[in-house]
Structures are given as structure tokens and as C-alpha cells.
Structure 1
Amino acid sequence: MVQSSYDVKTIVLRKNINESEAMRIVEEKKTSPFKSLLSRPKKEDVHVHSLKLYYECILMVSGKYVADYFRKATHSISVDSNVSEVLLGDGLFPVRSKSSITKAFVGKRGKNKIDFKLDEHVFVEEEDELTFDHHGRDIKFPFKINSKTVENYPKQLLDKNESNVKKPEMTYDAAIDKLKTQLKKPMETDVKNLNEEFTLREISEIYIPIFEARLIGPKKKVGIIRIDSVRKKIL
């Protein structure tokens, strides 16, 4: 996977449980992957083959989209019932024809309407951020990022655990394209003189420490338990 060159911020969240605490959770829940509607194995029938700490990347991109363009529009004004047309600049605008139903409801004294076909100059400004798990699926970011929740030396920590780091499978370009699509709302069909600009604010790789236990159950079936060590939560 080839990534385009971007200035990427690297963040590693701190664990809130250690390996022994993770193992206690696994021992407590190790039969869960093997249970069925009618049965659940005994704890002694399930063996914890391994417990490893992985650092899984959540990719976050943020940016801003601005645009201006002209679009066709019709604006109407009301005039007195005895007005037949309006002179505006070099244009002469007649009143709108009334249907028989309208005449029946409002009578001869009802206000007349005049339609002006104009070009509107429209300005759009949108900002947002998107987050993706390491497989590239859209997710809502559930963590807090501040000085208390992040590691002080993230790159050194990831280098030290390089074999257990799960980098994003989605490219930066693909993530940015999704953000652009999110920010650029569908426009009217009759648009002209479009000027638009997308500004990338930030790309962040946020690594979540995940304990992953490999379990061997009855008939040598394999099960997995994954624990989010930041939120102390089984995934």
C-alpha cells in the first residue's frame, strides 16, 4: 500500500489495564466465544493459547470546504391588483397570470404577483472530520485525547512494538476523498461560475492498545477475545 506524502500526526493512547488484569478478564469470559444457544463449555475445557498487546490504528482526517457559485432563482413580489407590470432597470416584468381557481378565491381586488428570474451568488463553507478503524470502516471516535490519555513518546513506543502494530489499511488519499464527499453537499443542477477549494486541516493516526487473546476450545475450535485496554471493554 503506497501512501501519498502528508504531514501525519501520530498519537498512542495509554492503557488503563495491564497484561495481568487483561488475563483475568479473559479467564472470566473465555467460554463466551464458544457458547451456543443450547450449550456453553466448562472453563476447564477452554485453554488460553496466547495473549498479545496490539496497537490498532484509527485514522482521523479533518478539513474545510468553501465554494461560491451562481444559481438560477425566481423571486416573487406582491403588487396592487390594479398593477399590470413593473419596470425595473431595462426590464419590463408583467404580473403573473391568475388561474380561474385563484380568481375565485381572491376576487378582483386580490394582490397581483410578479416573478423576477435572477442569478443568486451563493457562498458555502463546511468543516468536519471523519474517523476510520484500521480496516477503513467509518466509526464514531469514542476516546478522549488530552495530556492525561496519550503516551509522551508515541513513535518510539510503536517502533519498539513494530511487529504488533496494525497500520491503517485505508490510504490517506481515500480517507481524504471520503471527507471531501462528506463536505461537498449535492448542488443544484443549474450552477455556473463555480469556485471551490478544499483545505486539509489534519491527518492523525491514533493507536489504540488492544489485548487480543487466542483461545482453544472443545474439538480444538479457535476463539478470540479482544479487550480495549483504554476503556477496559471487551470488543
Structure 2
Amino acid sequence: MAVKTAAILGLDTAAGAYLARLLGARGYVVRGTGDKDLLTRLGVADDVTQADEAAEAISGANEIYDLRGDVAASADLFALGGTARVFIAADPGTTVAKPDGRFVAIGHVYPHESRFGPGTTAVARIVAATAAGIDPYPADLATATDCGWTPEYVDAMWRMLQRPAAEVLEIATGRLLTGEYVARVAAAYFKRPAAKTAALIAIVHGDAGNPGPASSALGWRAVTWGEDLVTVLCEGIAAG
């Protein structure tokens, strides 16, 4: 069987780094754009070829994973031509125009975290604050977020490109995780006093994703969420 080549546009994202590791373990030749710092931390930098431009990265690739989160850049990607199957990671609710005649799968990817980032969610900020022994921001405590585990989400991305037809699916846990709950779990892990929540306004209820179609089509579901997700993030900080 011929070895497949995958191009990842966005190696400098946590999703890009974890996807590179996953694809390498599955026998792909992997190349992509973006800084390789996270790949180094994951121990797979030597197995991935870094390209300067998207056109160089995708040349001859069988699969392309566009994780840059830039709809305009994705449109430019199609202008480069080629026959590779394409996965585009988009924010929930974002419309992505797909060209006719190309296999283009769209994943509406809900927030996710890992031990290597991105660290931009309220969940990650609360864990970091608790680990440092300070109260999280009240605004973070008031959030409710559908947040998952990055290494699981990249598996869903890969599965979408193995399907007979390109689909538009949500990659999510389907459950909301409140900031107040995250703070309680993190405080227990680090043996800190519970965060002060008495002055909080009502929790802002966000929208949970709908992972049902992805489960049916891909045989995939998020299994790391809630207390498990908070705990692994705490473990990552504790391990340095």
C-alpha cells in the first residue's frame, strides 16, 4: 500500500501539533506550515517537514488539513488546485464556501484544550489561576462552555477525510462545563480554597455543540470532558 502524504496548515496550533503526531503514528508522511515548537514539545518535530508556504506544503499531498481558522485563506487554498481531500476547521456557525468538484469536509470545531494549549478558554484560565493560588476572573467563573480534549478532536478531523463523501459536522462534547464547576474541581486538585463566587452574576449559558451526527457518521465521540478534562489540565500544570 502506498504511503499517504498529509499537509497540515497550522502546525503552530495545539490541534496541528497533535494531528501531526496522530498522522505520523498512522504511517503518513507529514509536512506543513507553522512553527514547530509544539511539535518539539510533543517529541515529533523530526518526523514533520516544515514548509514556508501553503503551496509548497500541499504539493502532492493526499490529504490537507487547514487549521488556520481563516476562511479567506481557505478560499485561496482552493485556487491552488489539486485533487487532495481537504478538511477545514471552522468556528461554530461560520459559513465556508466549498468549490464544486472537490472533496472538502468542514468541521465546526468547538473549544478544546490540552496540556500544550491553546490556553485561551475560560476553562484553561480558571485552572491556571487556581494552580497559581489566585481567584479566577469572575467573568470566567460565570461562563458555560462546550470544551473538549484536543487529542480526541484531531482524530475526528482525520475520520472526516476517510468518509465516502465530504460532510459538514460539529466536533464537540455536546455538554456545557460551567466555570464555577471547573473552579471547584481545580481547587480540590491543588488543595486550594474554593474560589469566591458569591458576587457572581448569573451564569452565562453558552451553546453546546451537537456531536450526534459526528457520532453516527464517524463512530466518534468525545470521552474526555467535565471532571476528567479539568483533571488532565491540572495534571499538565503540576507536571510543569
TM-score norm. by structure 1 comes to 0.23
Q: TM-score, normalised by structure 2?
A: 0.23
Structure whose CA Rg is larger = 1
Q: Which has the bigger relative contact order, CA under 8 A and spacing at least 6?
A: 1
- Greater per-residue helix proportion: 2
Higher strand proportion (structure 1 or 2)? 1
